[in-house]
Amino acid sequence: MSINDYIKTYQKRVNDALEEAIKPLAASNRLTDSMLYSLRAGGKRLRPILMIASYESFQKDIDKVFSTASALEMIHTYSLIHDDLPAMDDDDLRRGKPTNHIVFDEATAILAGDGLLTYSFEWLAKDPLLSDREKTKLFQWLAEASGPAGMVAGQMLDLQAEEQQVPIEQLENIHKLKTGQLIKFAIKAGAFLGGAKENQLEYLDEFATYIGLVFQIQDDILDVIGDEETLGKPVGSDEENEKSTYPALLGLEGAKKHRDNYETKAYEALEKVGITESRLFDLTKFLTERKY
């Protein structure tokens, strides 16, 4: 199966798992409609797919991973809803569709985000396939990754860095928190559930840091040279908003080199894990070369 087919196959399974997760809430009301709107608004399901691939590197029966993958995607979705709010990045469009607060209103969007964040923990707590020990570990990692020393801290720093050029170390720190922590959770949680050993988790931690940066640099590059239709969003918005980006700091070619350097380091870290066959190799390549 090509990596593109692999991604498509699991996107579908993740979407099904998310629908399943939301079903217990499905008595339609403004709040659940708003949560569902953003959950269904598409998206690459990149984090869940990384989690599945990480799990599959150790164990084949992947049923066990889906509630954790769904919980992660709910957290990611909540963060997008809140980031798009007028008081934050003030975005009207995401993935070619109106953002949550445009379709509903600000109050509903805030509550939809709160609801998704809380429900992700509820869904994880209720998973019959995981042991209490596994749940406790996942809770801790997920809360750390998405909380005030993780993703939320990253969004705060990102807002504070607006309309100024920050040095590359600071930019990298923001990305490690804002996008990197959830990607790291995806990789580590998948491997943990698959039965990876402690030292393997450490190398995967390193690997995850690198692919998180690859992902972010490519994001910045696509905002310069991407195709609006393929991306589903306007390009050039970073420059317009005077955001600090890799191309702005390093030039386009410099940014590409920087990305490719992290790609190489990602492979090196992955080699050290000692798993011979893993979709994580292909996915790293995909992240480096992606057009959307």
241 part of the interface to its own copies, by CB under 8 A: no
CB of 212 to its own copies, least distance (A): 19
9 part of the interface to its own copies, by CB under 8 A: no
CA angle 261, 245, 206 (to 5 degrees): 40
Which of residues 45 and 178 has its CB atom nearest to its own copies in the complex?
Answer: 178
CB of 216 to its own copies, least distance (A): 20
d(CA 248, CA 38): 31
Which of residues 131 and 276 has its CB atom nearest to its own copies in the complex?
Answer: 131
Residues numbered 34-53 forming contacts with its own copies, rule: CB under 8 A: 35
8 part of the interface to its own copies, by CB under 8 A: no
Residue selected from 4, 9, 160, 164 as contacting its own copies according to rule CB under 8 A: 160
Binding mask of the shown chain, residues 71 to 110, with x at each position contacting its own copies by CB under 8 A: -------x---x--x-xx----------------xxxx-x
Which of residues 1 and 87 has its CB atom nearest to its own copies in the complex?
Answer: 87
DSSP the chain: --HHHHHHHHHHHHHHHHHHHHGGG-S--HHHHHHHHHHTS----HHHHHHHHHHHTT-S-GGGGHHHHHHHHHHHHHHHHHHHSTTTT--SEETTEE-HHHHS-HHHHHHHHHHHHHHHHHHHHT-TTS-HHHHHHHHHHHHHHHSTTTHHHHHHHHHHTTTS---HHHHHHHHIIIIIHHHHHHHHHHHHHHT--HHHHHHHHHHHHHHHHHHHHHHHHHHHH--HHHHTS-SSHHHHTT---HHHHHHHHHHHHHHHHHHHHHHHHHHHHT-SS-HHHHHHHHHHH---
Structure tokens at 175: 């990305």
Structure tokens at 147: 């909380």
Residues numbered 116-135 forming contacts with its own copies, rule: CB under 8 A: 116-119, 121-122, 124-126, 131-133, 135
Neighbours of 215 (CB within 10 A): 21
Which of residues 141 and 286 has its CB atom nearest to its own copies in the complex?
Answer: 141
CB of 86 to its own copies, least distance (A): 8
CB of 87 to its own copies, least distance (A): 4
Residue selected from 93, 102, 103, 156 as contacting its own copies according to rule CB under 8 A: 156
147 part of the interface to its own copies, by CB under 8 A: yes
222 part of the interface to its own copies, by CB under 8 A: no
CB of 40 to its own copies, least distance (A): 16
**Contact residues for its own copies, defined by CB under 8 A:** 24-25, 29-32, 35, 78, 82, 85, 87-88, 105-108, 110-111, 113-119, 121-122, 124-126, 131-133, 135-136, 139-140, 142-144, 146-149, 152-153, 155-156, 159-160
